[in-house]
A and B are shown apart, each in its own frame.
Chain A
Amino acid sequence: MLDILLDILSWILLLGGALFLLTGAIGVLRFPDFYSRLHAVSVCDTLGAGMVLLGLMLQGGLTLVTVKLMLIFYFMVFSGPTAVHALAEAAQVSGLDPVEDDREDG
């Protein structure tokens, strides 16, 4: 019983992660400028990959695999936002301004 419950939970997490990754990818394609695209990417990175990793941890159970996945999770949580920060910083230093949307809301 517990097995099935864990399986269902892990699949929900995996599919949810996949959904976030998909929205992130669509965001990168659709957003108008560099900074808002970055925003989409960072959602992808932390939430999408994080949920996939959590789902995999539930699949792995109490094994060495889960420990390794937790280490990967730890690295993702730190490196993802840092990479996005560095990118935004670099864009700002090189003089890229955000696109402001002047359109009236309709």
Chain B
Amino acid sequence: MSTLLGHYNYWIVIVLMMTGFYTVIARPNLVKKIIGLFIFQTSVFILFISMAKVEGGTAPIIEEGYSLYSNPLPHVLILTAIVVGLATTALGLALVVRIQEAYGTTNEDDIHVQDETD
């Protein structure tokens, strides 16, 4: 029971991660793949932030009357990771747009067929 209560958060996050992972490897559409990557990425963020949580703690902004704070370090890492994630997602989407322009499709299977016939 204590294992369940202590770990359910991580387990659900892993299910979310695998949802994203499945979208990346099983769906042929490139935009969908990037969305899958985005879900995977957000789930990793949730995993990190879950680890930073201290039971009974509060947000790490120092204020009189509080002594227990959650861990600020993962917050910093994830804060910057979110912005970097956006930048890399945008780069991926830009590549998808160029692929669409070059091949006329964003479906992976069609792209493979075109590559083979060339």
- Tell me, yes or no, whether A and B come into direct contact in the complex with CB atoms closer than 8 A: no
Binding site for A on B (CB under 8 A): none
Binding site for B on A (CB under 8 A): none
